[in-house]
């Protein structure tokens, strides 16, 4: 009853189109949610890149053949475009943290469909350097990972990693520059949280995979077990 009264006084709105919503727990209307496209297989069996219509049973993309990732497998739930792209921008830069529940719902639906995270014991998020965190006030990966952990019933460790180098913005760099930019930029914060544990590593976007790969390298070196990566979105071409 209280939720109903609050919704009448302060109606929830769709964060994409500003339409009033009847459900206080939702932030995206059905019409806008329908515009968000789920990524479809076949996927590279390492990085999750879409690789063609009829892959061999153990097909792996050329990037992973040339440079095998440190993570065991990576997945991305949705295509980074249009409505979702705008929502992610609001989530990251305008601090619309309520969207984390809607994003976690999209991710868990995808994960259940593909059997992702069944063996994961802890959730770890990608950390942010303290100077950037001071400017943005929140680490969006932390917020997303926490929401995902609640839905999956998997413990969220807080950040078992820390960012020790204030790197340039990745979205301004090419593939090789991204890899170089992130080299030695992370360290382990608390190895006891991840020792011999299967990890579900969470971030919002997968572009070249440089960030999650560098995080996975540090986690594996510190005694982590299997590492699966799950991100909310990824573009068509990566």
pLDDT of residue 135: 82
Residue 90: predicted pLDDT: 94
Percentage above 90 pLDDT, the chain: 62
Q: pLDDT tens-digit profile of 58-116?
A: 589 988 999 999 999 999 999 999 999 999 999 999 999 999 999 999 999 999 999 99
User: What is the per-residue burial (b if ≥16 Cβ within 10 Å, else e) of 175-213?
Assistant: eeebbebbeebbebbeeebbeebbbbbbbbbbbbbbbbb
pLDDT of 180 > 80? The answer is: no
Average predicted confidence (pLDDT) for the chain: 87
Percent above pLDDT 70 for the chain: 84
3-class DSSP state of 186: strand
CA distance 25 to 124: 25
The pLDDT confidence band at residue 38, using thresholds 50, 70 and 90, is very high
Backbone φ, ψ for residue 122 (5° rounding): -145, 155
Residue 53 has pLDDT above 80, yes or no: no
Query: How much is the pLDDT for 8?
Result: 47
Residues 22, 7 contacting (CB under 8 angstroms): yes
Per-residue pLDDT, averaged over 41-66, amounts to 81
Residue 134 has pLDDT above 80, yes or no: no
Give kind and range of the element (H or E) at residue 107.
Answer: helix 99-114
Q: What is the tens place of the pLDDT at every residue in 18-31?
A: 998 877 778 999 99
Domains and CATH numbers, the chain: 1-35 (no CATH), 41-234 (3.40.50.2020)
């Amino acid at each position: 009853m209280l939720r109903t009264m609050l919704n009448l006084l302060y109606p929830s709105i769709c964060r994409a189109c500003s339409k009033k919503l009847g459900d206080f727990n939702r932030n995206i209307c059905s019409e806008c949610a329908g515009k968000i496209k789920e990524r479809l297989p076949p996927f590279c069996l390492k990085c999750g890149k879409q690789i063609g219509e009829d892959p061999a049973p153990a097909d792996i993309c050329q990037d992973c053949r040339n440079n095998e990732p440190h993570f065991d497998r990576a997945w991305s739930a949705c295509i980074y475009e249009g409505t979702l792209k705008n929502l992610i921008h609001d989530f990251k830069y305008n601090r619309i943290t309520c969207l984390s529940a809607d994003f976690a719902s999209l991710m868990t639906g995808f994960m259940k469909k593909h059997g992702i995270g069944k063996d994961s014991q802890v959730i770890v998020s990608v950390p942010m350097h303290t100077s950037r965190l001071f400017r943005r006030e929140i680490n969006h990966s932390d917020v997303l990972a926490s929401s995902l952990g609640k839905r999956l019933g998997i413990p969220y460790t807080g950040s078992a990693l820390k960012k020790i180098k204030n790197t340039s913005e990745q979205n301004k760099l090419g593939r090789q520059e991204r890899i170089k930019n992130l080299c030695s930029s992370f360290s382990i914060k608390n190895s006891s949280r991840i020792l011999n544990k299967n990890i579900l590593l969470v971030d919002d976007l997968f572009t070249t995979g440089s960030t999650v790969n560098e995080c996975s390298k540090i986690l594996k070196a510190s005694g982590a077990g299997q590492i699966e990566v799950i991100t909310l979105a990824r573009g068509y071409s990566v």
